[in-house]
Amino acid sequence: MFFCITLIASLLAVLPPASASSACRCFPGDACWPSESAWSQFNKTIDGRLISTVPLGTPCHTPNHNATACAVLKAGWELPEEHYESSSSVMAPFFANGTCDPYHSVSKPCTLGNYVWYSINVTSPAHISYALKFATKHNIRIIIRNTGHDYNGRSTGAGALAIWTHHLKDLEIHEYKDKHYAGKAITMGAGVQGFEAYEIADENDLQVVGGECPTVGLAGGYSQGGGHSALSSRYGLGADQVLKWEVVDGQGNFITATRDNEYSDIFWALSGGGGGTYGVVWSMTSMAHPGTPVSGLNLTYTNTNLAASSFYSTIEKFHENLPALVDAGAMCIWSYTNTSFVISPITGPNIPVAKLVKLLEPFTAILDKLNINYTMSTGQYSSYYGQFKDMQGTIEVGIAQYGGYLIPRSVVENNNKALVQAYREITEAGATFIGVGLNASHKVSGDVYNAVLPAWREALIDTTLTTPWEWDDDALMVERQNQMTYEFIPKLEALAPSSGAYMNEGNFQQPDFQRVFYGSNYDALRKIKSKYDPNDIFYAKTAVGSAEWREREDGRLCKVNQWQPSCAEYGTV
Ligand SMILES: Cc1cc2nc3c(=O)[nH]c(=O)nc-3n(C[C@H](O)[C@H](O)[C@H](O)COP(=O)(O)OP(=O)(O)OC[C@H]3O[C@@H](n4cnc5c(N)ncnc54)[C@H](O)[C@@H]3O)c2cc1C
Ligand SMILES: *[C@@H]1O[C@H](CO)[C@@H](O)[C@H](O)[C@H]1NC(C)=O
Ligand SMILES: *[C@@H]1O[C@H](CO)[C@@H](O)[C@H](O)[C@H]1NC(C)=O
Ligand SMILES: *[C@@H]1O[C@H](CO)[C@@H](O)[C@H](O)[C@H]1NC(C)=O
Ligand SMILES: *[C@@H]1O[C@H](CO)[C@@H](O)[C@H](O)[C@H]1NC(C)=O
Ligand SMILES: *[C@@H]1O[C@H](CO)[C@@H](O)[C@H](O)[C@H]1NC(C)=O
Ligand SMILES: *[C@@H]1O[C@H](CO)[C@@H](O)[C@H](O)[C@H]1NC(C)=O
Ligand SMILES: *[C@@H]1O[C@H](CO)[C@@H](O)[C@H](O)[C@H]1NC(C)=O
Ligand SMILES: *[C@@H]1O[C@H](CO)[C@@H](O)[C@H](O)[C@H]1NC(C)=O
Question: Would you kindly state where each structural domain of the chain is located, as residue ranges?
Answer: 2-166+526-570, 171-290, 294-520
Q: Checking DSSP bridges between strand 459-468 and strand 432-437, what pairing results, if any? A: antiparallel
Within this chain, domains 2-166+526-570 and 294-520 share the same CATH topology:
no
Per-residue pLDDT of 288-315, as tens digits, reads 999 999 999 999 999 999 999 999 999 9
User: Which residue lies with its CA nearest to atom 9 of ligand 8?
Assistant: 391
Nearest CA to ligand 6 atom 14: 441
CATH no., domain 171-290? 3.30.465.10
* Cβ neighbours for 12, distance < 8 A, ≥ 6 positions apart: none
Atom of ligand 1 nearest to the CA of 191: 41
Q: The whole model's pTM is what?
A: 0.95
For residue 347, give the ligand nearest its CA: 8
Half-sphere exposure of 433 (CA within 13 A, CB side): 35
**pLDDT at residue 22, rounded to an integer:** 66
The DSSP symbol for 165 reads -
CA of 306 to the centre of ligand 9 (A): 14
Decide: 373 in ligand 7 pocket, CB within 6 A.
Answer: yes
60 lines ligand 2 (CB under 6 A): no
CATH, domain range 294-520: 3.40.462.20
Low-confidence ranges of the chain (pLDDT < 50): 1-21, 566-573
Ligand 9 contact, 338 CB (< 6 A): yes
Question: What residues flank ligand 6, with Cβ below 6 Å?
Answer: 327, 409, 439, 441, 443-444
Distance 72 CA to ligand 3 centre (A): 11
Mutating to test ligand 8, I would choose from 341, 377, 434 the residue with most ligand atoms within 8 A of its C-beta, which is 377
Distances in Å between the Cα of 123 and the Cα atoms of 129, 163, 168 are 12, 10, 6
Q: Whose Cα sits closest to atom 7 in ligand 9?
A: 430
Distance in angstroms (rounded) separating the CA atoms of residues 22 and 20: 7
CB atoms within 10 A of CB 288: 24
Cβ of 298 below 6 Å from ligand 8: yes
| Closest atom of ligand 8 to CA, residue 300 | 13
Please provide residue 455's backbone torsions phi and psi, each rounded to the nearest 5 degrees.
-60, -25
- Decide whether any atom of ligand 4 lies within 6 Å of the 4 Cβ: no
Ligand nearest to the backbone CA of 439: 6
Q: In CATH, which of 3.30.43.10, 1.10.150.120, 1.20.120.50, 1.10.357.10 is domain 2-166+526-570? A: 3.30.43.10
Distance (angstroms) between ligand 5 centre and the Cα of 85 equals 10
Exposure string of 523-556, with b = 16+ CB inside 10 Å and e = fewer, is bbbbebbbebbeeebbbbbbbbbbbbbbbbeebb
pLDDT at res. 38: 98
Write down the pLDDT at residue 19. Answer: 42
Question: Looking at the CA of 336, which ligand is closest?
Answer: 9
Residue 304 CA, closest ligand 7 atom number: 14
What is the chain's mean pLDDT, rounded? 95
- Cα separation, 82 vs 57, in Å, equals 11
Residue nearest atom 12 in ligand 3 by C-alpha distance? 66
- Residue 379 Cβ contacting ligand 8 at under 6 Å: yes
In this prediction, residue 563 carries a pLDDT of 83
Instruction: Verify whether ligand 9 is closer than 6 Å to residue 308 (CB atom).
Output: yes
- Rounded CA gap, 149 and 95, in Å? 11
